[in-house]
């Protein structure tokens, strides 16, 4: 642990890249929160990362090796309106999840963390033309606000993200936790600022602070225009998006466990093993197909 400042009941917001970060929406929200923060806890990258899959970025200037930027996982401290906010943000570790979880729980105890907030983004059969639905999780009943649906109901069995391992260890040590997970249209192949904004707004309401959005609002408008243009140019795509709109009209629907599992498995098949970031970056193609289920016919779980 570095030199931490005096903190008053800080909240810790956490987001890691990987499959639970569709369109990079969650890590973009965490990066936005931590933009002016300084590291107060750092973790040993040599112990956590496989540098063959997460290679450091090398800058070469005029033929001379100039600088290496290594994958980094750290807790940063910032303040919004006098409220202490800690942000755990970075790449999902490749190794030592158990050890990292224990160290993180100890750090939360030393920093007197009052609450943990996980941020994530999951692929879903939702249209880009509607407000981004947010699914909530909580370590015990009554933590989530009334306007956030906890779900899905019943059992959902999926490959775990490191973020969930860390959250469970921290909650076992006594820190209450909530999670906000944006449902990102499964046909979005790049950043989706609307989901990032939705996550930040839920953090604002949860913690009682105001986060300036900067360029995010303009990014969301630009991306919406680009997606609208794609839809307008193809009748099949337009019909598919219209079907999604009808299915999700008027509510922030929490998908069923089967729907979520189907979307997650489809998404994971698109992500090449060892790929960095949040998934495919190909062209937008909302049309249903073998790997693009329609809103009324989710594919079965498994291949």
Domain ranges of the chain: 11-270
Query: Do 241 and 231 touch, CB atoms closer than 8 A?
Result: yes
Tens of pLDDT, residue by residue over 108-131, are: 999 999 999 999 999 888 999 999
Using CA atoms, how far apart are residues 177 and 168, in angstroms rounded to an integer?
A: 9
Average pLDDT over residues 148-163: 82
Which pLDDT score is estimated for 248?
Answer: 74
Which pLDDT score is estimated for 159?
Answer: 85
Query: Do 255 and 263 touch, CB atoms closer than 8 A?
Result: yes
Which pLDDT score is estimated for 277?
Answer: 39
Tell me how far apart the terminal alpha carbons of the chain are, to the nearest angstrom: 44
Using CA atoms, how far apart are residues 37 and 109, in angstroms rounded to an integer?
A: 20
Which pLDDT score is estimated for 33?
Answer: 96
Task: Copy the structure tokens of residue 41.
Answer: 């806890």
Q: For residue 177, give the H/E element and its range.
A: strand 177-185
Which pLDDT score is estimated for 272?
Answer: 47
Sheet with 177-185: strands ordered across: 38-42, 74-80, 83-90, 11-16, 115-124, 177-185, 134-138, 149-150
Q: Is the pLDDT of residue 39 over 90?
A: yes
- At how many degrees (to 10) do helices 97-110 and 162-172 cross? 40
Tens of pLDDT, residue by residue over 168-224, are: 999 999 999 999 999 999 888 889 999 999 999 999 999 999 999 999 999 999 999
Query: Do 194 and 223 touch, CB atoms closer than 8 A?
Result: yes
What's domain 11-270's superfamily in CATH? Answer: PAC-like subunit (3.40.50.10900)
Q: For residue 184, give the H/E element and its range.
A: strand 177-185
Average pLDDT over residues 264-275: 52
Which pLDDT score is estimated for 260?
Answer: 54
Distances (CA, A) of 181 to 14, 119, 126: 12, 6, 14
Which pLDDT score is estimated for 81?
Answer: 87
Which pLDDT score is estimated for 147?
Answer: 78
């Amino acid at each position: 642990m570095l030199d931490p400042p005096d903190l008053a009941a800080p909240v810790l917001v956490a987001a890691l890249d990987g499959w639970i970060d569709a369109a990079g929406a969650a890590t973009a929200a965490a990066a936005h929160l931590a933009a002016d923060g300084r590291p107060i806890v750092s973790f040993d990258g040599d112990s956590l990362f496989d540098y063959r899959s997460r290679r450091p970025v090398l800058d070469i200037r005029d033929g001379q090796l100039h600088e290496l930027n290594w994958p980094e996982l750290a807790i940063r401290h910032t303040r919004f309106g006098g409220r202490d906010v800690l942000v755990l943000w970075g790449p999902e570790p490749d190794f030592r999840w158990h050890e990292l979880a224990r160290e993180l729980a100890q750090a939360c105890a030393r920093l007197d963390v009052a609450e943990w907030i996980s941020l994530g983004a999951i692929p879903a059969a939702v249209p880009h033309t509607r407000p981004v639905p947010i699914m909530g999780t909580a370590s015990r009943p009554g933590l989530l606000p009334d306007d956030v649906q906890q779900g899905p109901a019943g059992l959902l069995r999926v490959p775990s993200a490191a973020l969930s391992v860390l959250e469970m260890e921290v909650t076992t040590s006594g820190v209450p936790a909530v999670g906000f997970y944006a449902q990102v249209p499964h046909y979005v192949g790049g950043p989706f600022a609307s989901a990032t904004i939705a996550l930040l707004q839920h953090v604002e309401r949860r913690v009682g602070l105001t986060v300036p959005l900067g360029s995010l609002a303009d990014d969301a408008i630009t991306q919406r225009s680009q997606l609208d243009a794609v839809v307008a140019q193809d009748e099949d795509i337009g019909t598919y998006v219209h079907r999604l709109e009808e299915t999700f009209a008027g509510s922030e629907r929490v998908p069923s466990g089967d729907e979520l599992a189907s979307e997650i498995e489809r998404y994971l098949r698109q992500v090449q093993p060892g790929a960095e970031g949040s998934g495919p970056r190909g062209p937008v193609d909302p049309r249903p197909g073998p790997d693009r289920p329609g809103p009324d016919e989710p594919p079965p779980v498994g291949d």
